[in-house]
Every structure is written in structure tokens, then in C-alpha cells.
Amino acid sequence: MKNRSTTAQAIGLIGWLAVAFATAAVGAAASIQAATFYAQLVRPSWAPPGGVFAPVWTALYTLMGLAAWLVWRENGQRARIPLALFLIQLVANALWSWLFFGWHLGAWASAEVLVLLALIAATLVGFWRVRPLAGLLLVPYLAWVAFASALTWSVWRNNPGALG
């Protein structure tokens, strides 16, 4: 927290949370019919019910915004690359929703979620180096997306007609 006023800190926190939740909004735009579509898909027995996703993602986007804010507060050169990675992984995050729910491209979504997973891991390491707590806050996100990677692949493989 170098040379930033309390007001600047508060604005920064609101800004990073807004960036994270803007990503959620872009993904949600692709997911308007997600509940109906997801319910029609053949899912593995270990797949969570559709109603689990919104609360989990709300918590994850909150943690992501807080983590980015903690890194941003360091206000130095070493925060730039991790924050750039954070923004890039947000784009990949939103893209997954469009690939899977918007465009029903299961193969692409299955490949893209692995790219997302790698970007999250790189972001987590970068955040950890700047501020360990920020990296720790991304662990649930990494774990959820690892789970989502397996789920995406399984759902795609079980629904060749619905997910090209």
C-alpha cells in the first residue's frame, strides 16, 4: 500500500471488484438459457445441480477482485505482469461461457478451459510472489476451474449432438 490514500484504496477495491463482476456479466449474457440447456444435457453423477453455479461463482469473483486489489495495492513494477495475467484470464473466463452455453461448442470449450486453468495457475503464482494472501485467494478459483475442466470434458463427451 505505497502512497495511496484511503479513498484511493476504496476506489481501487470497488474498481477491481467491478472488473471481476463485469466478467461475470459478460459470461452471464452467454448463459441466459444455461439453466434450461444444462438441465437437458447428460451429466455425470458427480455434476452439481445447476443452482450451485451462481453462488459459487459469486464467491469466486469476489475473491478474484479482492486478490487483484491486494496486488494492485503494491503499486509497483512487479505487480504489472500479474495484473496483466489476471485481466487476460478474465477474458478467457468469459469466453468459456460463450463457447459452451452461447455457441454450444463443447470441444472448443473443453480445450479453452484448459488454457484458462493454465492462466489461472500463472496468475496465482504471480499474485503469490507479490502478495501471498492474494495468491491464496485464487486457490478456490483454481480448484473450481480444475473441477469445471473435468465436468466440461465429460458433458461434451456425453452430448455429441448438443455440443459440437
Cell 496483466 belongs to: 84
> What pLDDT shows up at residue 34?
85
> What pLDDT shows up at residue 130?
97
> What pLDDT shows up at residue 44?
97
Q: Which of 163, 16, 26 is nearest to 83 (CA)?
A: 16
What span, in angstroms and rounded, lies between the C-alpha atoms of 128 and 13?
Answer: 18
Residues of the chain with confidence (pLDDT) below 70: 1-2
Domain ranges of the chain: 6-158
143 three-state secondary structure? helix
pTM greater than 0.85? yes
> What pLDDT shows up at residue 2?
60
Q: Which of 145, 126, 146 is nearest to 27 (CA)?
A: 145
Contact 83, 68 (CB under 8 A): yes
What span, in angstroms and rounded, lies between the C-alpha atoms of 21 and 12?
Answer: 14
What would the CATH number be for the domain defined by 6-158? 1.20.1260.100
